[in-house]
Amino acid sequence: MVKVLMLSWEYGGRHVGFHLENLVGRLISKGYDVHTLHLSGDEYKDVRWGGITYTITPNIKTNLHIITSVFSSLGDYARAISSVVYDAGGFDLIHAHGLLVGLHGLMAKLAYGKPLLLTLYSLEEVRRDGTNLISLAIEGFERHLCDLADALVVNDKGLCKRIAEKYEIPWEKIHVLNEWDGIVDVYKEVLKR
């Protein structure tokens, strides 16, 4: 049974959390052991559909901007990832959803030597309101995370093309998936490397 460490800034509800909850249910129905970590106001461990969800309470509640939020939560995610290693006996694959937890996924990849799959839903150039130092720093994160991840998943051919061109990422590293069809094949490919 393949153990997946799933990282997200949110879970359930709307946006990324909705897509992630859908994916977790699909993977569990295919026999995967999924351990999901996300931020929340309360810290608890919940077992749903056979998967385990860990919520993480951030130690630092107020941040200047998104970069400080990502940096300040590194220790919170490290603690939660250690819990998964202890509870589950480790994991085979890390799947980080979005830029906000991409750095956390990279930290787990470097610490445990497991492959990292990064799902991106958009790029900073689409989200930002003008160019400033924060958006330039976020684009720097995007570039490095795209380069250091073992594979990328996007849901749009245009986003695939933009990542390949802007960050010079090989096309074969980027997988365009619609509603998670084909994710199991991507997992198998990444685990073979």
- The per-residue pLDDT for 149 is 97
pTM above 0.85, yes or no: yes
The C-alpha atoms of residue 44 and residue 53 are separated, in whole angstroms, by 8
Structural domain containing residue 76 = 3-192
Please state the domain count of the chain: 1
- The per-residue pLDDT for 50 is 65
pLDDT single digits (tens) 41-76: 766 677 766 678 877 878 877 767 777 888 888 899
**Which residue type does 17 have?**
G
- The per-residue pLDDT for 126 is 67
Cβ-based neighbours of 164, under 8 Å, separated by 6 or more: 170, 171, 174
Q: Is 34 helix (H, G, I), strand (E, B) or coil?
A: strand
- Residue 80 sits in a domain of what CATH number? 3.40.50.2000
- The per-residue pLDDT for 127 is 64
pLDDT band at 193 (very low <50, low <70, confident <90, very high): confident
